[in-house]
């Protein structure tokens, strides 16, 4: 049975301006520049500082004429727009949004340097050029191209040859067999760098070893180890290898040194993509011991409102009997100016929020920023900064995401300063980063022939006053990407 009824509920809805601000807040300095460029393309009423004051290449009236709208509804919207008493042209030409009245950057006069981009080929293209020179037939070239295109970014062939045979049959109508595929793959594995086209790590290392002088005893032993005792080698069962190969520890050490110098990811050796630089979002400035934060605004251009759009509005304001075309143009301009104003406000609010949050982090972790000693970091979670700034935890999270600060001690991600707390025997709460630093130092100083197990590392921490369980030691070790003691063993 259907019924009609009233229901009252409270819903939290974000305005389009709030959604825009949230999206801009989580972008780093590189992404925000791309976002600003996109907005400049989409909104002709928004200009960079330094652009000519003349109207954009497209006349606002021409842009309006290109829009497909219904005449009746357009007439109504224009009339409603003009009848709206809240609309005041003067609010669009006030000082705050005047072409010379608003600048994002305090560093606008500084020289802005751009890094040149290098033109490069991917390693797939490099391999294809090599294979083109040795392919014996059109069919072999097509098969080789298919195999090269199947290689992953590390240079491995993860897809079975049988599956590639099916791909060639269905997509290119080329019939081939396993023997022919293996012949083509062997040619690809002969390309540079050595190891390309391997199906697994063992094969990758063997391909590289077999290109060396196999008359050398060390090379012969290394090949035998990888072919017959790969499992024992990866698990570092060195005593067993010495026994079964009937060699001494010095000879085994030479083989291990040779193998560890091989490249496990040959695809990266010819990855000529342009170097990616970290662009810091914040700069730490030390002036005679007084620390301050500067936002790296050079990555975000100064923005302003188009003078030609404002002058068009002024012309409407001065017109006693505006024509229909003027009315329609004013509606279009009002929409673009609103969008530009909201965007500028969102960028400004983003700058203020970033500085507010980073200054709170600076005050909280002042000991670290003064000395650069990682052990001076205090336990700090998102909630701590949220309480100091009065912002929501989700806002702090967006600020900390993918942002970096440049200091005299290096460039650090903002997430570096957030860590959980651990209580010492004296009841003092310290950062988990301090414990990780002690663990790292202990592991680096250990005897590599007898690496320290987690139980011994736990004892070392207890001696220093950190009462931590073995499983916590293992968790911190794994977070630092340090393997277990058995895998850290060296001869």
Does the structure show a pLDDT above 80 at 67?
Answer: no
Q: In whole angstroms, give the CA distance from residue 41 to residue 189.
A: 47
In a domain? residue 75: no
pLDDT (mean) for 461-476 = 88
In a domain? residue 92: no
Does the structure show a pLDDT above 50 at 452?
Answer: yes
Neighbours of 57 (CB within 10 A): 7
Query: Are 313 and 254 in a shared domain?
Result: no
Q: 423 versus 136: which is more confidently predicted?
A: 136
Query: Are 139 and 237 in a shared domain?
Result: yes
Backbone CA torsion sign across 445, 451, 456, 458: positive
What per-residue string of b and e applies to 354-393 under the rule 16 or more CB within 10 Å gives b? bebbbbbbbebbeebbeeeebbbbbbbebebbbebbebee
Does the structure show a pLDDT above 90 at 311?
Answer: no
The predicted pLDDT at position 79 comes to 38
Q: 96 versus 186: which is more confidently predicted?
A: 186
The predicted pLDDT at position 110 comes to 38
Total of domains in the chain: 3
Does the structure show a pLDDT above 50 at 269?
Answer: yes
Does the structure show a pLDDT above 80 at 76?
Answer: no
Domain boundary among 385, 418, 451: 418
pLDDT (mean) for 102-118 = 41
Query: Are 132 and 242 in a shared domain?
Result: yes
What the block records as the tokens of 149 is 């295109």
Answer whether the bond into residue 193 is a cis peptide, omega within 30°.
yes
The predicted pLDDT at position 273 comes to 47
The predicted pLDDT at position 68 comes to 40
Q: What is the mean pLDDT of the chain?
A: 80
SS3 412: strand
Does the structure show a pLDDT above 70 at 414?
Answer: yes
Query: Are 432 and 486 in a shared domain?
Result: yes
Query: Are 361 and 489 in a shared domain?
Result: no
The predicted pLDDT at position 338 comes to 86
In a domain? residue 74: no
Query: Are 139 and 258 in a shared domain?
Result: yes
Q: In whole angstroms, give the CA distance from residue 233 to residue 225.
A: 7
Q: 378 versus 70: which is more confidently predicted?
A: 378
In a domain? residue 313: yes
Domain boundary among 225, 249, 270: 270
Does the structure show a pLDDT above 60 at 106?
Answer: no
Percent of the chain whose predicted confidence (pLDDT) is above 90? 41
The predicted pLDDT at position 51 comes to 62
* β-bridge mates for residue 292, sequence order: 285
The predicted pLDDT at position 464 comes to 85
The predicted pLDDT at position 336 comes to 86
The predicted pLDDT at position 218 comes to 94
The predicted pLDDT at position 105 comes to 44
Query: Are 160 and 223 in a shared domain?
Result: yes
Query: Are 357 and 378 in a shared domain?
Result: yes
In a domain? residue 207: yes
The secondary structure of residue 232, as a DSSP letter, is: H
The predicted pLDDT at position 289 comes to 83
267 near 192, Cβ under 8 Å? no
218 near 288, Cβ under 8 Å? no
- The whole model's pTM is what? 0.58
Q: 322 versus 107: which is more confidently predicted?
A: 322
Q: Any residues with CB less than 8 A from the CB of 453 and at least 6 apart, and which? A: 484, 485
In a domain? residue 285: yes
Does the structure show a pLDDT above 80 at 246?
Answer: yes
Tell me the per-residue pLDDT of 23-36, one tens digit each, with 9 for 90 and over. Answer: 888 888 888 888 88
Neighbours of 87 (CB within 10 A): 13
In a domain? residue 482: yes
pLDDT (mean) for 282-304 = 83
pLDDT (mean) for 181-189 = 95
Q: In whole angstroms, give the CA distance from residue 330 to residue 64.
A: 10
Does the structure show a pLDDT above 60 at 272?
Answer: no
Query: Are 129 and 148 in a shared domain?
Result: yes
The predicted pLDDT at position 10 comes to 66
pLDDT (mean) for 448-464 = 89
pLDDT (mean) for 168-179 = 92
In a domain? residue 5: no
Query: Are 192 and 139 in a shared domain?
Result: yes
Does the structure show a pLDDT above 50 at 86?
Answer: no
The predicted pLDDT at position 179 comes to 95
Q: 367 versus 375: which is more confidently predicted?
A: 367
Q: Any residues with CB less than 8 A from the CB of 349 and at least 6 apart, and which? A: 21
Query: Are 429 and 457 in a shared domain?
Result: yes
Query: Are 405 and 451 in a shared domain?
Result: no
Percent of the chain whose predicted confidence (pLDDT) is above 70? 79
Backbone CA torsion sign across 149, 150, 154, 157: negative
Does the structure show a pLDDT above 90 at 128?
Answer: yes
Does the structure show a pLDDT above 70 at 112?
Answer: no
SS3 466: strand
Neighbours of 324 (CB within 10 A): 9
At 468, which CATH number?
A: 1.10.10.60
The predicted pLDDT at position 302 comes to 79
pLDDT (mean) for 305-317 = 75
Does the structure show a pLDDT above 50 at 153?
Answer: yes
Kindly list the distances between the CA atom of residue 414 and the CA atoms of 242, 418, 440, in Å, as whole numbers in the listed order.
48, 8, 21
Q: 303 versus 208: which is more confidently predicted?
A: 208
| Residue 1 pLDDT level (bands cut at 50, 70, 90) | low
Q: Range of 248's domain?
A: 123-270
Does the structure show a pLDDT above 50 at 325?
Answer: yes
319-327: long-range contacts, CB 8 A cutoff, minimum separation 24? 324/78, 325/61, 327/78, 327/81, 327/82
Domain boundary among 418, 442, 476: 418
Does the structure show a pLDDT above 50 at 328?
Answer: yes
């Amino acid at each position: 049975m259907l019924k009609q009824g009233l229901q009252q509920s409270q819903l939290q809805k974000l305005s389009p301006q709030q959604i825009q601000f949230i999206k801009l807040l989580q972008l780093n300095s590189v992404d925000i520049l791309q976002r600003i460029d996109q907005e400049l393309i989409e909104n002709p009423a928004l200009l960079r500082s330094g652009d000519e004051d003349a109207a954009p290449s497209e006349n606002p009236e021409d842009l309006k004429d290109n829009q497909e709208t219904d005449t009746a509804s357009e007439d109504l919207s224009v009339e409603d727009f003009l009848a709206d008493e809240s609309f005041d042209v003067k609010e669009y030409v006030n000082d705050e949004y005047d072409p010379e009245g608003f600048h994002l950057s305090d560093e606008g006069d500084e020289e802005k340097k751009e890094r040149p981009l290098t033109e490069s080929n991917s390693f797939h293209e490099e391999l294809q050029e090599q294979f083109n020179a040795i392919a014996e037939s059109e069919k072999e070239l097509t098969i080789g191209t298919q195999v090269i295109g199947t290689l992953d970014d590390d240079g491995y062939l993860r897809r079975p040859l049988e599956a590639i045979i099916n791909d060639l049959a269905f997509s290119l109508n080329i019939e081939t067999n396993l023997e022919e595929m293996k012949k083509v793959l062997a040619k690809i594995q002969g390309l540079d760098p050595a190891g390309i086209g391997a199906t697994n790590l063992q094969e990758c290392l063997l391909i590289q070893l077999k290109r060396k002088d196999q008359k050398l005893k060390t090379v012969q032993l290394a090949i035998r180890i990888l072919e017959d005792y790969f499992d024992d080698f990866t698990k570092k069962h060195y005593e067993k290898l010495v026994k079964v190969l009937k060699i001494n520890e010095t000879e085994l050490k030479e083989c291990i040194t040779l193998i560890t110098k091989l490249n496990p990811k040959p695809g990266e050796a010819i990855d000529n993509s342009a170097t990616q630089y970290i662009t810091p979002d914040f700069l730490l400035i030390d002036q005679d011991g007084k620390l301050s934060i500067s936002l790296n605004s050079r990555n975000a251009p100064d923005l302003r409102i188009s003078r030609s759009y404002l002058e068009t509005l002024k012309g409407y304001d001065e017109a006693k009997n505006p024509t229909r075309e003027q009315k329609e143009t004013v509606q279009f301009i009002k929409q673009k100016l609103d969008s530009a104003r909201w965007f500028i406000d969102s960028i400004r609010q983003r700058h203020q929020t970033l500085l507010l949050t980073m200054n709170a982090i600076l005050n909280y972790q002042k000991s670290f920023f003064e000395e650069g000693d990682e052990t001076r970091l205090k336990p700090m979670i998102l909630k701590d900064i949220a309480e100091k700034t009065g912002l929501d935890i989700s806002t702090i999270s967006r600020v900390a995401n993918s942002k970096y600060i440049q200091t005299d001690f290096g460039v650090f991600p903002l997430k570096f300063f957030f860590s959980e707390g651990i209580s010492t025997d004296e009841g003092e709460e310290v950062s988990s980063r301090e414990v990780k630093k002690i663990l790292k130092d202990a592991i680096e100083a250990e005897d590599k022939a007898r690496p320290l197990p987690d139980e011994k590392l736990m004892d070392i921490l207890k001696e220093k006053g950190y009462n931590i369980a073995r499983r916590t030691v293992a968790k911190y070790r794994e977070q630092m990407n340090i393997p277990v003691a058995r895998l850290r063993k060296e001869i």
